[in-house]
Every structure is written in structure tokens, then in C-alpha cells.
Structure 1
Amino acid sequence: MNHRLRFALAASCALFALPVHAQDTAKPAPEQAARKASPAEPQAPKQAFTTGVAKGRDLLDSAISASSIDEDQIQKIGTRSIAEVLGNMPGIRAETAGTDGLTAVTIRGLPMAADGSKFLQIQEDGLPVLEFGDIHFASTTAFLRTDLSLSQVQAIRGGSASTFASNSPGGLVNFISKTGEQEGGTLQLSSGLNHELGRADFNYGGRLSKTVRFNLGGFYRQGEGPRATGYDAFKGGQIKLNVTKTFNNGYVRLYAKYLDDREPNYAMVPVAVRGTNADPTYGTIAGFDPRKDTLYSRYRSSLLALDGNNNVTNLDLRQGNRSKVASVGLEAQFDIAGWTFSNRARFAQISGTYNENSSMALLPAAALAPAFAGPGATLRYASGPKTGQTIASPASLNGNGLLMYGLEIHSDLEKLDNFTNDFRGSRVWGVGRGKLTTTAGFYASSQAMVQNLHLLTDVFDIAPGGNSAFVDVIAANGTPVTQGGVLNYGIRGTGAYRRRYDLDYRVFAPYGSVNYQVGALSVGASLRYDFGKVSGTLYGSDLGGTRVGTAPIDMNRDGAISLPERTVAVLPLSQPGAANYSYGYASYSLGVNYRVAEPLSVFARYSRGARATAERIYFSPAVNSASGALTDPAMAYGPVKQAEAGVKFRKDGVTLFATGFWASTSDKNLQIGADATGATVVLQIDRDYSAKGIELEGLFEHGPLSLRLGATYTKAKIDADKADKTLVGNTPRHQPDLIFQATPQFEVKTFTIGTNVIGTTSSFAQDGNLLKQPGYTIVSPFVQVRPVNGIQLGLNVYNVFDKLAFVSVNSAAIPASGVVTAQTLTGRTITASVRFSF
């Protein structure tokens, strides 16, 4: 075992072995006394914020910009998607179509060059879900769920996030579980009223003794979902348990979680567009509504492919995105000799499956057959109830006359296991007329990344209601060009993107901070040094050399080699590439806060952090595949610099925070985009970005009325691009000038009524800044009625006006066909629920 990891484990074990003294349970003591006897685990005041800082404080005493959402607010938002919860926080831009497998999340104008959350780390109970938020086809959000066991979500933007966690230069979001402080249970049953999806949530917390408490919660769901697939696309759930033992000078807590859940991948679907690039008009194509239809289908349920050992296997496309997590964690905190020591440790066994229907091109059915099989070619169904039937009128097929030259992206996420440990000690010293708080800690993690990736091309029709089917292309001489709808077991014309990763990342980071508070003034600084080691092997013909990427394989075992079987993409298993390099970088943050008056404070901060590069750097000139070394050591990480200044006010039911910010970064990444025809392209990018703007957050409460507001105005630009100088000065794709959130509500004892509003202004579909992507405003009202104690009836209507809203448009300009592919938000979705509290 690496000696640094041994050091971290030894520190952890030493803390857990420290002498502690259990309370005398023979003495009668009320619950309040038991809690009072645990000074290391105080019940923080309502405004205290604990994520990404050395010590939990009232936000008006902290030089940070932060927000939180509790479980009750999430219920009112009307969604269970992690990214949509994050999108209700100022400064955070989240791209999602309502599920968690394919999301993109960023913060404060930092680039969203790819999926995942590169510059924003997402945590669960104070430790990262994954060490890297943008592992290809394994977004952090895919392995996290919200349910009734969730207490609150805390987010810190910029500030000390870069020094109190690794790989989090933009910010931190922490999903915090309930720990049994409140005795009692909750059972909630919910069901779609205009769609098929049932869900059961539960949570129960309480005390096993005067010094032991627990919390148990989870959910299960099953159904087709709000968009048509023709089968139960949602199926699964999770269960979470934690047990806390309190002592006179601290506590120990054990966590456990099991998640096994699948959901559809609401990715790119066809939409119509006309007008000009600067002023486009988007709409639905005939026979297909992207608000309620998908490219998933009961008739396109499986495909043949190769596993990681080049053996034929059957892919179940109905799995969509499946996530599996089994984790156990241990947390401890003790006050010893004036110091407060804490340690968090967790091991998580993580795996899953990623399936996405993407597009190589959308073509008129009448043109696709001759394009792939020459003059006189015909089409016939290869799956579904019409299997074997010739498509006699391609131009009128499904009312839209379109066929998809599709790209099926499948990744076996075989192993994403991680171990993380964070140990720290802090002490408050009396110095002069003030207080000096010092903190020192050490973080260690190990992140595995074993992934088997293959891409296949196929042909299918665009039909509503989950009724899409594979289509075969037949040459004029009767020879099939496809096999069961598959055009090529790889990407046509190349063996690229048949890849396997078997990598291990080790991250170690000592860190520390000082904060001096005297009167109304508080000055602080923090420092962190990350050093990491990357090792492992890679397989793929595009590593170069003599590697062969295709081979003839009888995929369907019929004894003959068809045209698609002549060039099956394979892994060159006898010729692995290497991953072998180390890196190190320093992060720091300096801040000052001044409490002008009891309700008012001002702050300023400057920070520098960085984000280490994960697996997207491979299969590029950045890595020598023979030695595994980087060709340029600067490619190991991307630095992020941020400056911010703000004002905070809170008095008599009015809370107002305003923060101005500036951020800059360098990003080296792979970006999946599109050219002017809408064809999918993969770009190797090496760019510098900058952004400036202002965040506003407000809460107004008066009697039964309340209004929660958030808005972020951002101006971002591409400062440099090594591959395409024409992009310099452009606005990064999907970056609107304004994102906003609002939740007005009226609440009394017997009922609550309100609405959640989120929206953006327009942005550019691609970095070339030609085609505009329209903004949107989504209005989602909610009603909660409490007829008697212990029962609550709820109704949520997501997107009540059935707005056709665009998350991402995959085209650089309006194509001649007038049809592009786009990721959209779900249309009107009505869900009813009943909650029992006991």
C-alpha cells in the first residue's frame, strides 16, 4: 500500500482509538441534557454554514458566498433530479432533461465544455461522491439521489472551496443526511396523474438509548416515466442508515447506503428549426413531441456488442442509465485538550451502465437508403410488429419521413470504487482582544476507473409513444447493408472509440487555515497542496502504432459474415497503453469580512485553486501511450482564479445577499459538438476562459407569505484557443447572460400554495456563436393540504404551461434540412402525493 495512504489510514485509526468516556446511562437525563453533553456535535444555529469552511458560522460572519435548500423546499420544487435541485441555487448552471445520468453542471461562468461537473465537486455527508465530477459517461449526479432521508443541501461558490476539498476550485455542494435528531417517521406515496410512475419514500429517526440515535430512510420507484418509452424505464431505489453514539466529549457515527436504480437517458431528440441563426424558431416535427417522446422504445430493446474481453454479449438498452452504489462510512469528532479533532472516512463500491441514443445524422427516409446502399435500395423493418415488412412510402413514414442514422453509446462502468478520508484538527486561541482559529488537516483518496466503452451505428425510425423500430437497408440486388438495423459494430469507416480504461487515481492533500476575529472584523487565509499519482492501462486502436481496431466477427452466430460484421470494432488486448504520471499544485484563499452592524456585513476574497485532469486526457497527444507520461506537465491540471466581493443583509424577515465575481481558468478537454449540418463531431480543446458577473439571493418573509429569489448575471468569453483562433472573444456555448429562480408561497397551518419558477435568457448553441439557443421560463406550481395532524396531501405540476424548453441544441447553424437534434426539458408533468407522519 502507498505510504501516504498508510499515513492517512493510521491517522484515521488513531482518532477512532482515542480514549472517550460514555455517558452514565444509569443517570436519568432528558434528551436535551444528552445533547448538551456532546459539545463536539452542537446543534448549529439555523444560519450556520459548515460546508467548505474550517468552522461553521453564521453567513454574516463568513467571507463566503453560500446557499442552502432543505428537504421541505425540494418537495416543493417538484423534481427529484439532482441537477434540477442544484439549478435552484444562485450561481449554479445545471443542464439536465430531468434525470441524473446525463447532466452538466458548472458555476459562475466557468466553462461547460463537456458533461459532468468539472469545476464543482458534489459531496454526500462531507465527502465526494466521486473524486472527479466529469468522468466520461459517469457524472457524479448519476450516483446520488434525493429522498426523505435528506436534511439539506449546502453550496459554497468559490471562496474556501478550493482549499477545503480537492478538485473543487469552482465550489462545493454537500448533500447532508438526517441523523435522527428528530424522533418520528414519515411515509410518502406519490404517483403521476398524467404519466405512469409510482414512488414510495420513507424515513424514520429516533433514539435507541440516551446516547445512541439512528436514522433510516430511502425510496423505491417504478414506471414508464413522464416521457413515452413503451416499458418501465424507471425502476429501483436506495436505502440509507446512520447510527450516532454520543460521548461526553464527542460522537462517532456510522453510515451505510445501498443504491440500485435505473432511469432513462433523455438525450438528444429531433426538433424542427426555421428562420435565421440569430432569430430561429423552434418547434416539433410531425409525429414526435420532445416534451413527451423519447428515442427509447419497446421495439429497440437490445443490441449485440463486445464486452471488455472481445466476447459477444447482448446489450439491454432498456437499462438506460443504471447506477449501483454500496458504501459504508465512519465519522468521528472529539474535543481533546482544547482541540477539536474530526475524521470522515468512506468506502464506496460503485458501478453502472450508460446508454445513450445519439445522432450521426438525421436523413429523409427516401434519401437514406440510396446513401448507404446505392440506387434502387429499399427499407424494411428489422424489429417490432412489422418486422420484415418493406417500407413502401418512406416519404410519409410516421408523418415525418425521417430516419435516424444513429449512434448508440454504451459504456460498462465496471468499477468506480473509491475510498476517501479527511482528518482535521482545529483550535480557537485567545490572541490580544480577538480570537484566532487554526485548522490543519490531511485528505487522502483512491479512485478507480474501469470502463468498457463502445459505440455502434444503426438505423431506426422516429416514432412517438415508445414505438420506434430498427430499420434494415437492402441493396438493389437484395444484399442487406445492415444487420438487425445495425449499420456497423463500431463507427462507420473507423475503429476509433472502442476503448477500455483500467485506471487508478491517488490524491493526497495537506491543508490548513487561520482566521483572526477581533470585534466586527474577521481576516482569514487557507492553503492546500494537492499531489496525485495516476497509474493503469488503456486499450484502443487510436492509441496509435500497429494496433488493429477492427476484425471480422460473426456477431449473431449464424455462420456467415455479413457486411456490418466485416469490420467489428475490437480492443487490441495484447497491446495496452500506459498511464503513469504524478502531479502537484498549491491552492490558496484569502478573505476578509466586516460586520458593519448586526444585520449587515461586507466581505471580499481572492482564491486560486485547480482541478486535476481525469481520463478525458487520454487517447490524445497529451499522453505518451508507451510510457504513460504527459507530453506537457501543465496538462495534469487546470488552474482557476477567482475574486469576489459582496454584501449581506438580514433583518426582520428580509435576507439579501449580493456578490460580484470574476473567474478565469484553462480547460483541456474533449468536447462533443456539432458542425453546421448537425453532424456530431468530437473536438480536442485547449482554451482559456474568463467570466465576470453578479449573484443575487433574497428571502422575504412576512406572516404566511414568503418569496425566495435568486439570479446570476454573467458575461463569459473565450480568451484563447490553440486550435481555432476565430473563437477568441466568443461567448462559450450554452452560457446565458442571466439565470434566475423564484419561489413565492403562502403557508398556514392547514395548507401551502406556491410556485417554483426557473429560467434563463438565450445563449449560443455552439462556440462559433452563430445559432441562438432560446431561453425559457418554467413555472411549476405546488399545493400542500394538511386536513388533520400527520397527513399531508400534495400536488406538483412541473412546467404547467407545457413550455418547449431547450437545454442543448446540437448544431452550429440551421441545417438545410431544417431539423436539428436537441436536449429538452420535460413537458407538463402532474404528480400527486400523500404523506403520513408519525
Structure 2
Amino acid sequence: MKSIGLPVALTAAFAVMACVAVDPTACAQQVDSMAAESPAAESQVGAGDAGLVVVTGVASGGKLRKLDSAFSITTASAEQIQEARPSSTADMFKIVPGVTPDPTGGQTGANIYVRGFPSNSDAPFVTLQVNGAPVFASPTLSFLANDSTFRIDDTIERVEVLRGGPSVLYSNGQPGMTMNFLLLEGSEVPQGSVRLTTGTGNLERVDAFYGGKLADGWYASIGGFRRVADGIRNGGFPADDGGSLSATLTHTLADGKLLFYARATDDKNAFYTSLPVMLQSNGSLSTFAGINPLTWTPLSNATRYFTLPDGQSGDLAQGRGARNLLLGADLERDVGGWRVLNRLDYFRGDQPTIAMFSGPSVVGLGAQIAALAAAANANPALLAAAGRAAVSGSAAYAGSGQPVGTDTETVQFGLWDVDKRVQSLTEELRLTKGLFQGHTVTGGIFLAHYSSDDLWNLGNDLLMDVAGNPIRVTLDNGVEATNPNGFTSGTTTYVSDRGVTSNYAVYLADEWAWSERLKLDAGVRYEVQNMNFAIAGTSAGYVGSDPLAMFNYGTVTPNGTSIAYDEHWTLPSFTFGGIYKLRPDASLFARINRGGQFPYFDQVRGSAPELPPPVTRIEQAELGFKAVTPLYSVYGTLFANQFDNQFQYSRNFAGVPQNTIGGSRAYGVEYELALRPLRNFQVVWSGDVLHARYRGYDDQVNPGINGNMIQGQPASQWRLTPSYLIPIGDDTLKLYGTYSFFGAHWDDQQNTDHLPGFYDVDAGALYRAGEHWEFRLSALNLTNQVGLIQGSVGRAVAVAGSAPYATTVRTLFGRDVQLSVKYSF
């Protein structure tokens, strides 16, 4: 079936919304107006937490007290976002109990693990929303997790993070975690701010916002940021260079609101992977060959501009940047006795990945030459061209030509170049009506149409010393083991494809107020996904004219054929829950749901056309308690989930797919606890305890997985955050900090790659001078901990009790200090 064009769909959808907004009598009969809007969520966690309202996960799309919600949700105001000091968009997820963002790659491209949800890369169980609409319809694609599409700045009013619960019904049906950023809008009272920030890595950043009234019933805002930084891992060129610009236009109606928003991002972000370390016999880490794991990077001006063996050139400063545009429109009003909520957004972007991906482990140059010689001798064509077998070889630095000793420690980096161009259009319409006593019914549709055009050039293994200098190797029989730039191979994985997916969902929900204390809700959803996917066929062979050029053998190139997929899946989902009010400030809630996840392009690419990947089935159960008093706040949830038919797709160092199909079971408790024993003093403790194991794998096909811990997720992780507000005349000084603990965990499904636990300390101070000025000093990883969330593709890590072992891992960045000055008006 031919898909409707994105421009046509956009025009039609905006026209319908404008019709209903401006002249409802032309579309339906106008009736009673909506309730007045509740005030914005309070900026400080405390006794006022009892009045916090949320919109994410609410059936009608309206506002609901957080305390009265029958699901788990975490909120943060603009000030709380600043205090969390996320190093990236993904790092914002650290405020959510049991969620593990991996900030080691830099500003973008993080793997994000959700408690009890198995994943091995990217963020398949995370959806990023702006004003309730998904930025990109699919939660993840290879080289494109949702966090890469968005940057946090001062145009954000607050953020809400929903876990599971009713999310399987609404929007894109995300069963995992949905992070919803609510944008600041203009209001009756003009307001604005300018923030200047400097810090570690030669950071220079400016944030600005202004919003106000245009005319009666019309309001606008504009804001954004511009930033340049060399980065903590300074490669000699700007690691982060760019910014974003955001604008809103709001029109208030007698019975609702119409909102338009636009957000443009143009940002370059260097991407970091693993680096050499030593794992000691007790499981701890130490530096390797004088390399500081907190600041080291193989990136430098010597390697920034590169030419691959196939002649393709690039710039490592592009990293995993973004050049994208987001347009959206929201309509809320009453029409014909129904409350109408319509959300529309369109996203398009160029999301490249140009980065070095580290290889299996660190080895001496002598061993590298021996391995290259053995590989050359095993190649009949090379052996024939050389006339004899290689016994040894010589090495020199690619840049200077200076000889390199065989005792030099070396590592291989795959220089990967991925061009990714994506588009996404989503439309959600909800209709809500109180039908009879105590019952409120919501019906809705969700439509999504998205595409991805990819060109991948993976492999391109570059031999380097541990200081990041490329090495050229020539064997003693004349074979060139590397090209002049130090590449031991060309492209080992070549991908050229275009995929288009359309999703159609319909849902129905009923909220039933059984009594003043007890409220129940239930809902069902049925969704269809259609995918058309065309992939260029490839072949591996020799390219070039020199038969002694070993690096040209095994190069993968397109062969003129193609593989076409035309797939169709369906997914029914449901949820049932309720909340019982024990007293005005305390409630119990319970919920079960069943949903799932459709296959996405990369999973289909990794499977045969006659054996497409299945729909992952996910069942969840929650039992929670909420209470807020002036002395304490408690949000605690017992949870359990089960996965079946989960297709996990990943690639090794060479870019070769490594796929598994199975399931898992998990249970545990997550908590957000706050204690306020003294005036202006608060301690918040949040985290989770988790028991999660793989199950359902075929031991003949995927041995050694059943019964193992889910990778990337420890049995326990938690954050302790004290804060103290000190009045100083008309000014205030707030001191705050966070101690985080992340337990030991495994980095693979087979539980062979062990990563030790670690702690982290962050701290900050905020001085507010009068009504207009604020001065903030903050630091991440204050004590320079070498923490590991993720390892390196294809490497093996020794466990405690073994001999010291050289390896490559991804570590936290070193101490990051920032100073900012903000003027509000």
C-alpha cells in the first residue's frame, strides 16, 4: 500500500486542528468549557509535592495529582533539572529509580537500561516525548537512540518520566519508560532569562529564554542555547559545538488551548568508546601504561580528518551529532460534549555517527605482527603473490615514519562512518466523555509514519598504540599488512538501505470512580505495523590492484542485488489498575498490563526474509504506595515483568550481527523516599533492588544464557541526595549533593564479562541574589571515580581472583566543574 506523503499529511492534520480550534461550530457543536488549568508543578520537592500534577499517562490527557496517579512516575522541575546537572539528555534518566543511562559516550548515543527490561545496546525501551508526543516514532534504531535527537536547555518547564503503567495504551505504546519534556510557553506576564556557563574542557555556553503576550489570547516564547567545548577528553578540537533554538505559539480558547511549537537543533558531538585499563586480581581497575582513564581519548588532530581504505573521507568532530527539526501542534478543547485532545508532530533529521570503536583488547605489537603474519600465510592469494610465508615484520608510525618497537602496547580501533537520515510523523487523537455516574470513557487513535535512509561503512580497523598514534606494518615477505594510514582492513560491514514503517493503533479506556476512595481503570489497544524495507546486497572479496595489499582482502562492497522485506505484525495490549486512597495524603495502587514491542529496521535487517523477527511480548505487574506529608514523602513500588519472544540484535567489533531470541523474568522494588527533619533541610534516597534472569533460550542455538543475570543491570543501585537551604537576608544559599552507588554487573548475556561496582559523588551550590540573579557552582564525579557501566565490544574481562588483565572498557568522565550566572527578568 502506497503511503501518504509527509507534507500532505502535515497540511491535512494542521488544517483539521485549526478548524476545530478557530470555528468549532463548523466541525461539531460546542458545549461546556474545560476546567481551568492547574498551576504548574512546584519547583521544589517538599511538602508541596502533595500538590504536584502530572499529564503523562493520564487517559484524558488532562492534569492529575501525582499522589492520585495509579502508576509510577518521576517528576523534575526546571530547578531540579539544574540540580541534577545531567551531562547529556540521556544522563537525565539517572533521576529515575532503576534506570541506568550510560554517559560514557559523551553528549549522545547512550545505552539506557530500564530495570528488568533486557537490552544490549541503544535504548529500545525508552521513548522521548515533547509535550506528550514522541520525537521519533520508533524508540530506537541502530546508531539512533531517542536521546540523540534532543538537547536539554532553559526552554524546558519540567520533565515527567512514566514507567510502564498505562503507557501501553497511549501514544506509541511504549511498555518501558517514557520521558516527557514540557516546554515553557509565553504567559500574561513577560518573563525571560539569560544564563552564561563556563567549566571544565573549556566550556563556553549561553542559554536564553523569553516569553510573553502578543495580543489578547495569543502568547509566544523563544529560546535555546549555543555551546562550544573541547571536552573533558580533549582531542585537540571542539568535542561539542552547536546548539538549538525553540519557539512556541499559544492561543487560549474559551474552553481550551491551541499550541504550536518548533525546535531546531544543529550540534556536533564527538563520540567516545572504550579505552585501555588494567583489571586487577581483586576485580578493581588501575591505569594502563600511564593512561588516565578519566581524560584519555584516541581522538586527536592527527586522526580527526581521515581517509578510509575505500577513499571515503570524514571528520571525527561530527561524532554522533544532530541536525534536525521538530514541529508540533497540540489542541485541547470541548466539542459536542466530548473533550478533544489532538497531538501532532513531525521530525526530520540527519543523525550521523563518525567515531572510533575500540577492539577486543590491548596486545603487544609483536603479538599483533605475529597475528597479521599468520593471517597473511593463511590467505592463498597473498601467499602466492609474496612467493613465501611471512615470518616477522617491521612497524613504523604512519605519520612520522619513526620505527615502533615490538614491545609497544597496541589496540585496534574500528573507524565507523554511518550516515543516517530519518523522518517521523505522529498523530494522536483522544476523545473523552463522562457517560454515566462515575465512568469516564476515552477512545483514541494513534498513527505513525517514519523512515530511515542508512549508509554504513563499518570495520576499517586501525592499528594504534595506546596513545592513539596509527601504526603501519610491513611483513618480511613484502606483504603490506596495513595501508599507509595504519588500516588493517577496509569495510567489513556495508549497509545501504531504506525502510518505511507505518503504525495504526486504536484504543479504548474506562475510568471508574467506584467511591471517593477507590478508582479503577481499564483499557485495551490494538495496533498494526507495516514495514517496507529494501537492503542492498553485498559481497566480500579483494579490491584494488596490489596483490600484496593485505588490507584490501575481505572488503565488503555492494554487488548490485537487493533484498526486499514487506512485513506485517499486530499487537493487542491491555491494562487494568486502580488506586485506593488510605487518607488524603496516602494511597495504594496496583496495576497489570500486557504490551510488547514491534520489530524495528535493524532487527529485520539481521534476519532472513522468510523468518522475520517476532513481536516481543511483555507482561508487567505493579503494587505501589504513595504518601506525602511535611515530614516525609514515600513513593515505593513492587514490580514484576516477563518477556517472551525477545529478539536481541547486536554487532561485534567487525560489525557482524550477533542475534538471540529468548525471554526473561524480573521482580524487585523501586523507591523514592524523602525526609525533611529540619526546616529547609531534605534528604532524598532513591533506587531499586532487582532480581532479573534470562529464560526461554534454546540451549542448542544460544547456549550459556538461561539463568544468567540480565546484562547491564546490577542487583542494586541507588542515589542519596541531601540539600540545605540557608536564608541570608533577602538572598538564599542552597547546598546540595548526590552520592550514587551502582552495583557490580555483567556486560554480556553469557555473564562472562564482569564489571565491578562503583560509587560517584556530585555536588553543587546555588546562591540567589534578590529576584533576578543566581550563581551556581556544580561538579560531577567530584572524587574522580573510574566507574564502569559498559565494556567494549568483543573483549573479555577477567573476574576477581584471576591474574591482572589488560583490556578496554568505557569509563566515567573525570571531574567536571561548571560555573554559571543567570539573570532573570
**Structure 1: distance between partners of 2:38 and 2:85:** 32
**Structure 1: distance between partners of 2:768 and 2:587:** 39
TM-superposed deviation, 1:244: 0.3
Q: Which residue of 1 aligns with 2:377?
A: none
The one-letter amino acid of 2:462's match is V
1:252-267 → structure 2 map (5 Å cutoff):
252-267=258-273
TM-superposed deviation, 1:520: 0.8
Q: Which residue of 2 aligns with 1:692?
A: 667
Q: Which residue of 2 aligns with 1:656?
A: 634
- Between stretches 281-290 and 363-372, larger displacement belongs to 363-372
**Structure 2: distance between partners of 1:266 and 1:429:** 55
Q: Which residue of 2 aligns with 1:343?
A: 342
Q: Which residue of 2 aligns with 1:721?
A: 697
The one-letter amino acid of 1:404's match is V
**Structure 1: distance between partners of 2:791 and 2:94:** 19
TM-superposed deviation, 1:237: 0.6
CA 1:3–1:586 in 2, change beyond 3 Å: closer, same or farther? farther
CA 1:155–1:322 in 2, change beyond 3 Å: closer, same or farther? same
CA 1:440–1:680 in 2, change beyond 3 Å: closer, same or farther? closer
**Structure 1: distance between partners of 2:36 and 2:502:** 31
1:67-117 per-position Cα deviation (integer Å, ceiling 9, x unaligned)? 11122112112234122110111132222216243211132311122x222
Residue 388 of structure 2 is aligned to residue 375 of structure 1: no
1:711-751 per-position Cα deviation (integer Å, ceiling 9, x unaligned)? 11110001121223432111122220111122211124421
1:15-30 → structure 2 map (5 Å cutoff):
15-18=17-20, 20=22
TM-superposed deviation, 1:316: 1.5
Q: Which residue of 2 aligns with 1:33?
A: none
**Structure 2: distance between partners of 1:596 and 1:85:** 32
Q: Which residue of 2 aligns with 1:187?
A: 194
TM-superposed deviation, 1:129: 1.9
The one-letter amino acid of 1:340's match is R
CA 1:225–1:587 in 2, change beyond 3 Å: closer, same or farther? same
**Structure 2: distance between partners of 1:173 and 1:787:** 32
Q: Which residue of 2 aligns with 1:599?
A: 585
TM-superposed deviation, 1:550: 3.6
What secondary structure sits across from 1:609 in the alignment?
strand
Residue 765 of structure 2 is aligned to residue 783 of structure 1: yes
Among candidates 780, 785, 809, match of residue 822 of structure 1: 809
Q: Which residue of 2 aligns with 1:398?
A: none
**Structure 1: distance between partners of 2:151 and 2:581:** 38
Q: Which residue of 1 aligns with 2:520?
A: 523
- Between stretches 477-486 and 328-337, larger displacement belongs to 477-486
How many residues are matched? 773
Residue 208 of structure 2 is aligned to residue 217 of structure 1: no
8 Å contact from structure 1 (residues 41, 333) kept in 2: no
1:337-384 per-position Cα deviation (integer Å, ceiling 9, x unaligned)? 33210111111111121023223343212322233244331111113x
TM-superposed deviation, 1:567: 4.7
Residue 615 of structure 2 is aligned to residue 637 of structure 1: yes
Among candidates 84, 87, 92, match of residue 85 of structure 1: 92
Among candidates 414, 424, 433, match of residue 418 of structure 1: 424
What secondary structure sits across from 1:671 in the alignment?
coil
**Structure 2: distance between partners of 1:501 and 1:806:** 34
Q: Which residue of 2 aligns with 1:49?
A: 54
8 Å contact from structure 1 (residues 97, 826) kept in 2: yes
8 Å contact from structure 2 (residues 330, 344) kept in 1: yes
8 Å contact from structure 2 (residues 114, 177) kept in 1: yes
**Structure 2: distance between partners of 1:202 and 1:473:** 52
8 Å contact from structure 2 (residues 135, 146) kept in 1: yes
**Structure 2: distance between partners of 1:7 and 1:456:** 39
For structure 2, list consecutive stretches of 5 or more residues without a partner in the other structure. Answer: 25-31, 42-50, 374-389
The one-letter amino acid of 2:675's match is F
**Structure 2: distance between partners of 1:816 and 1:766:** 21
Q: Which residue of 1 aligns with 2:543?
A: 552
1:676-691 → structure 2 map (5 Å cutoff):
682-691=657-666
Aligned-CA RMSD value: 2.6
Among candidates 240, 246, 249, match of residue 246 of structure 2: 240
Among candidates 508, 529, 532, match of residue 532 of structure 1: 529
8 Å contact from structure 2 (residues 104, 813) kept in 1: yes
Q: Which residue of 2 aligns with 1:570?
A: 557
Among candidates 110, 114, 117, match of residue 107 of structure 1: 114
- Between stretches 88-97 and 524-533, larger displacement belongs to 88-97
8 Å contact from structure 1 (residues 707, 744) kept in 2: yes
The one-letter amino acid of 1:523's match is L
User: TM-score, with normalisation over the residues of structure 2?
Assistant: 0.89
Q: Which residue of 1 aligns with 2:65?
A: 58
**Structure 2: distance between partners of 1:665 and 1:824:** 30
TM-superposed deviation, 1:456: 2.8
Q: Which residue of 1 aligns with 2:496?
A: 500
1:514-546 per-position Cα deviation (integer Å, ceiling 9, x unaligned)? 1011211101001111101100310142xxxxx
CA 1:100–1:233 in 2, change beyond 3 Å: closer, same or farther? closer
What secondary structure sits across from 2:90 in the alignment?
helix
Residue 313 of structure 2 is aligned to residue 314 of structure 1: yes
Determine what percentage of the aligned residue pairs are the same residue.
22
Q: Which residue of 1 aligns with 2:411?
A: 404
TM-superposed deviation, 1:251: 1.7
8 Å contact from structure 1 (residues 158, 171) kept in 2: yes
CA 1:99–1:471 in 2, change beyond 3 Å: closer, same or farther? same
What secondary structure sits across from 2:162 in the alignment?
strand
Q: Which residue of 1 aligns with 2:788?
A: 806
**Structure 2: distance between partners of 1:570 and 1:40:** 62
TM-superposed deviation, 1:11: 6.7
Residue 598 of structure 2 is aligned to residue 612 of structure 1: yes
Residue 442 of structure 2 is aligned to residue 439 of structure 1: yes
What secondary structure sits across from 1:299 in the alignment?
helix
Q: Which residue of 2 aligns with 1:360?
A: 359
8 Å contact from structure 2 (residues 797, 807) kept in 1: no
8 Å contact from structure 1 (residues 553, 561) kept in 2: no
TM-superposed deviation, 1:699: 2.7
User: TM-score, with normalisation over the residues of structure 1?
Assistant: 0.87
Residue 681 of structure 2 is aligned to residue 705 of structure 1: yes
8 Å contact from structure 1 (residues 503, 534) kept in 2: yes
The one-letter amino acid of 2:259's match is R
The one-letter amino acid of 1:153's match is V
The one-letter amino acid of 1:706's match is Q
- Between stretches 760-769 and 505-514, larger displacement belongs to 760-769
What secondary structure sits across from 1:786 in the alignment?
strand
Q: Which residue of 1 aligns with 2:822?
A: 835
Residue 736 of structure 2 is aligned to residue 746 of structure 1: no
The one-letter amino acid of 2:66's match is L
**Structure 2: distance between partners of 1:14 and 1:479:** 68
The one-letter amino acid of 1:549's match is A
8 Å contact from structure 2 (residues 398, 486) kept in 1: no
1:29-48 → structure 2 map (5 Å cutoff):
39=35, 42-43=38-39, 46-48=51-53
**Structure 2: distance between partners of 1:707 and 1:4:** 52
Among candidates 562, 573, 587, match of residue 587 of structure 1: 573
Q: Which residue of 1 aligns with 2:451?
A: 448
What secondary structure sits across from 2:303 in the alignment?
coil
**Structure 1: distance between partners of 2:202 and 2:667:** 43
TM-superposed deviation, 1:823: 1.0
What secondary structure sits across from 1:199 in the alignment?
strand
Q: Which residue of 1 aligns with 2:386?
A: none
What secondary structure sits across from 1:803 in the alignment?
coil
Residue 263 of structure 2 is aligned to residue 283 of structure 1: no
